[in-house]
Amino acid sequence: SLRHSHGRRFGQGDIYAVVRLKAELEEIQLDKGELADARWMSKAEIDKIVETDADAGRPLAGKVSMGNQKMIENALGGAIIEAL
């Protein structure tokens, strides 16, 4: 699932891509130069942190936007991409 938008956070455009992959390992090896944190999350965990109407106009720190939730659902419903 792919989204491209202009004028998003900090007045910048962004590209957001979500794909369904099959991990070879459960452990995540985090590159601290790239990301501050990473973890596996179930769909139920994601659903608990989706923004609500009460979040309108507030920063989404720790939340998933409704639009991104739709992208995640589309990706989870798609085919798994297998390693070659």
pLDDT digits (tens, 9 = 90+) for 26-42: 898 888 888 888 888 88
The band of 9, judged by pLDDT with boundaries at 50, 70 and 90, is low
Report the alpha-carbon angle 40-74-30, nearest 5.
25
Q: Which tokens hold the place of 46?
A: 């994601």
pLDDT of residue 8: 61
**Is the model's pTM score more than 0.85?**
no
pLDDT of residue 79 exceeding 90, the answer is: no
Nearest CA to 41 among 52, 31, 49?
49
The band of 45, judged by pLDDT with boundaries at 50, 70 and 90, is very high
